[in-house]
Structure 1
Amino acid sequence: MGKETLTPIFCVHGGNRFYLPYIIAQVKDSNPNTPFYFLSDRSTAYYRGIEHVCYEDYFSKAREFEKVYKHHYLDGTRYTTELFCFQRWLILDEFVHKMGFERGFIIDSDVMVYANVERLKALYKDFDMSIIYLNEGSSHGASCFFNKASILGKLSDVIFDMYTSEKSTHLLQDLFSKKTIGGVTDMDALHIFKKRYSNLITTGSIPINNLAQDSGILQDDRYEQEGDRSKVFWKNKTPFFKNLSDGAFVEMAIIHLQGHSKNTIQKYLQLRTFRAKSLFVFNWLAFKLLKYPMRWWLKLKKQRHKI
């Protein structure tokens, strides 16, 4: 299958974090020839294995949204973080349309991809998009497959409507009043989006042909648990979760390492190919050397004095 026919993978991420070399290597191990578009700032431009895109070049919708955004968070913190969580969808919508993509797989920067995304394409061929539907009150987009670029435009419209429609003030107050932790986030927008276009959107966390997307390793009690997270059963470097209802093992296309679970990401790195292993080593060393140059320089200096 030629590179031009493969389903591209997209990630929008701000800043440089220790877990990115792991995410990139796992994507390229499971999807070696698939283009991986990493929309970020210049701090991540040196990574190999990605098609780095400066998201500032696709920021016009995001900039307009910032003018109407109203922050609703219980302790008043996380303004920049929550604003960007909304803006990333607008950035992606703008990029996808300008580049002419019709389908793709979207991941958060804390998602490890173990399955080839062409398998997901076959699963969701009858829908415009898959998102993660947690329960009646919550959805999120840590991993989403879309078959029509127009569905991203619909999501952008929902995001703007939340803050600009005649009913927006009442809607935001109603959403905020139901929060016991956190506040109004892009997860609320995705939940409204799922309800509004229920005939076009399916749920990626429900197994189809025994393949599913993890909704979050710290939050899915449908599966056997180990400590504070879903227990992973590895078979030939492929992750499975054990369903508590019937004991069946369900293959996970991705694992979402949200929150503090990112601190143990090395446990979830399952590389098969020499190419992916080499890529990881290069990116990991580059991150360390560029993130902490003075620390490494001092270590080298000490070693030279010992010789």
Structure 2
Amino acid sequence: MYNVSLPIVFMHRVDEVHVGLCMQQAKYSNPSSRVILIGSPENKHLCGNNIEHFPLSQYKQGSQTFSRHYNHSSSNDYTYNLFCFLRWFVLRDFMRSQGINRCCYLDSDVMLYTDMSKLNNDDFHDFTFEYSWTTVCELDMLDEFCEYTTKYFRDALHYESLLQFTKELGNVPISDMVLFILFHNYALRRKATYGSVTDSGYFDNNLNCSFAPSCPEIDMLDSKKQIYQKDGALFFKITGTNDYIHSHSLHFQGHAKAYIPYFRSQDIPNTSYPMYFDYSTCKWVSAES
């Protein structure tokens, strides 16, 4: 199992209410872990008394070096897309300064429901550095990833191969997620889990998507995954079956962020019978006919 002190790290530049809710949920589900926001003076107030805050501005040395090599080739906003890359250099420099060898990194729109210290190390061998929005980061591997990413922008031939790889993926824009796929699948040579961790459950890739490759399709409701609860735990239902997958987390990507306030553990019913969340009314409804 993970050490109970495995830190959980968020990174965010602006002041948005949902960030505070996600951090508090992480602390609620992981009471023995440090929960940390690397942020700005504007969002420090979101941390309260039990969340640590560190300024982004103190960990920019490595990111500034990468910025000189970055070549923007994306329909996404330049500043946003660049920051998606820079955050990994900031995280690396932060972990070095704090003496942290391993942490759990979560995007600021991810709600975590599982105590990470109670999951086995072996479960996460392939999950490490697979998702850019929910991943376990080891410092030495993060250092490799930063160098690996820099190489693809610094060297012309590597950049051309990166462009070719985005075409193979379906003409997707160059993003840190693309580099994660390259690094995880080809540098680390690990199989993709797409959020599944053996039989213990699933780390949600995107609430707006019914499936990820190699994972079973999940029932949808109002263009989002249908979420069930029983005994206070969250589940997805596998389409066409009576089988359920336990959900370790929910990723409220895009417009789904509006539902974050309804998914604090304290506000989820704890009933012996299954209920599902009705997005149209923002209420939990009995799933029994």
Do the two structures share a fold, i.e. TM-score over 0.5? Answer: yes
SS of residue paired to 2:87: helix
| Aligned equivalents of 2:129, 2:203: Cα separation in 1 | 9
Residue deviations 1:120-148 (CA, integer Å, cap 9, x gap): 344536x275244xxxxxxx3110023x3
Change (3 A) 1:213 1:123: farther
Residues 80-119 of structure 1 correspond to what in structure 2 (within 5 A)? 80-119=79-118
Percent same amino acid among aligned pairs?
20
Residues 136-151 of structure 1 correspond to what in structure 2 (within 5 A)? 140-146=131-137, 148-151=138-141
Aligned to 2:283: none
Offset at residue 100 of structure 1 (A)? 1.6
RMSD (CA atoms)? 2.6
Would the aligned equivalents of 2:12 and 2:38 in 1 still touch at CA under 8 Å? yes
Would the aligned equivalents of 2:207 and 2:252 in 1 still touch at CA under 8 Å? yes
Aligned to 2:231: 236
Residue deviations 1:80-121 (CA, integer Å, cap 9, x gap): 000000000111111112222122111000000100011334
Choose which of 215, 231, 234 in structure 1 pairs with 2:205.
Answer: 215
Aligned to 2:273: none
Offset at residue 37 of structure 1 (A)? 1.4
Aligned to 2:181: 191
Aligned to 1:64: 65
Code of the residue aligned with 1:151 in structure 2: it is M
| Aligned equivalents of 1:108, 1:86: Cα separation in 2 | 13
Would the aligned equivalents of 1:26 and 1:271 in 2 still touch at CA under 8 Å? no
Choose which of 266, 269, 285 in structure 2 pairs with 1:271.
Answer: 266
Would the aligned equivalents of 1:218 and 1:258 in 2 still touch at CA under 8 Å? yes
**Matching of residue 167 in structure 1 with residue 157 in structure 2:** yes
| Aligned equivalents of 2:100, 2:192: Cα separation in 1 | 20
How many residue pairs get matched?
A: 260
Would the aligned equivalents of 2:196 and 2:203 in 1 still touch at CA under 8 Å? yes
| Aligned equivalents of 1:113, 1:86: Cα separation in 2 | 23
| Aligned equivalents of 2:59, 2:134: Cα separation in 1 | 21
Would the aligned equivalents of 1:123 and 1:208 in 2 still touch at CA under 8 Å? no
Structure 1 stretches of at least 4 aligned residues deviating more than 6 Å after TM superposition: 179-182
| Aligned equivalents of 2:52, 2:171: Cα separation in 1 | 37
Larger radius of gyration between Structure 1 and Structure 2: 1
Offset at residue 228 of structure 1 (A)? 0.7
- TM-score w.r.t. length of structure 2: 0.81
Structure of higher RCO (CA pairs closer than 8 Å, 6+ residues apart): 1
| Aligned equivalents of 2:126, 2:193: Cα separation in 1 | 11
Would the aligned equivalents of 1:128 and 1:151 in 2 still touch at CA under 8 Å? no
| Aligned equivalents of 2:132, 2:242: Cα separation in 1 | 27
Would the aligned equivalents of 2:25 and 2:112 in 1 still touch at CA under 8 Å? yes
SS of residue paired to 2:118: helix
Change (3 A) 1:198 1:246: farther
| Aligned equivalents of 2:191, 2:54: Cα separation in 1 | 28
Residue deviations 1:264-286 (CA, integer Å, cap 9, x gap): 2122222279xxxxxxxxxxxxx
| Aligned equivalents of 1:266, 1:84: Cα separation in 2 | 26
Would the aligned equivalents of 1:86 and 1:186 in 2 still touch at CA under 8 Å? yes
Higher share of residues assigned helix: 1
- TM-score w.r.t. length of structure 1: 0.77
